[in-house]
Amino acid sequence: MSKNINTASARAFEPEFVEKLKDIFEQRILFNQVLGLKIDQLGAEEVTGHIDMRRELIGHFAHQRLHGGVISATLDAMGGLAVMAAIGARHLDEPPAQRLLRFSKLGTIDLRVDYLRPGIGERFGMRAQVMRLGSRVASTRMEFLDADGKLLSTGAAAYIVS
């Protein structure tokens, strides 16, 4: 599928911005801690992350499958992170702390998740991409993959950004 986004970021994020964004995302958003969400890469056009399978995340007692809600929750979170990275890249002139304040204004408008294959495995990867960043609304696409890169679920979401 086409991308319509320049994948080469003009400039990389400062370590301070990355560190603080990781702290907010992985620690201070408490439910992300429950999910075990970890950021892997933080680019202006794509962010990636992962979660590890744990007993608490099981949705189907008989099959040791990941709960669908774990998938929808991580895809929503990753879509929001992608929007935050895109906003961060657009405002590189602002000091990191000021840029991060924009995170608290971000809200999910709506979310769609397509469950393609059961979530079985030890580790799962997520990828999110901003399809369009407007002044008021951002649209994203997300993917949930197993450790071999096989696509398990896809998602789409809209976020309010101002």
Residues that bind a copy of itself (CB under 8 A): 1-4, 24, 28-35, 55-63, 67-70, 72-74, 76-77, 104, 107-118, 127, 129, 131-132, 136-137, 139, 141, 143, 145, 149-151, 154, 156, 158, 160, 162
Closest approach, Cβ 12 to a copy of itself, in A, equals 22
The 8-class DSSP code of residue 55 comes to G
Phi, psi of 64 (to 5 degrees): 55, 35
- Closest distance of CB 94 from a copy of itself, Å: 19
Residue nearer to a copy of itself on the CB measure, 35 or 42? 35
- Residue type, position 56, single letter: E
**How is residue 120 written in tokens?**
């079985």
Query: Do strands 107-115 and 38-42 pair parallel, antiparallel, or not at all (unpaired)?
Result: unpaired
* Between 24 and 92, CB nearer to a copy of itself: 24
Cβ 40 to a copy of itself shortest distance, Å? 15
Contact 133, 112 (CB under 8 A): no
Q: Looking at beta carbons only, is 75 or 89 nearer to a copy of itself?
A: 75
| CB of 99 vs a copy of itself, minimal distance in Å | 15
Measure the CA–CA gap between 62 and 80, rounded to whole angstroms: 32
Nearer to a copy of itself, 42 or 51 (CB): 51
Residue 46 CB, nearest distance to a copy of itself (Å)? 9
CA 91 – CA 65 distance, rounded (Å): 41
Cβ-count burial of 61 within 10 angstroms (0-12 exposed, 13-18 middle, 19+ buried)?
exposed
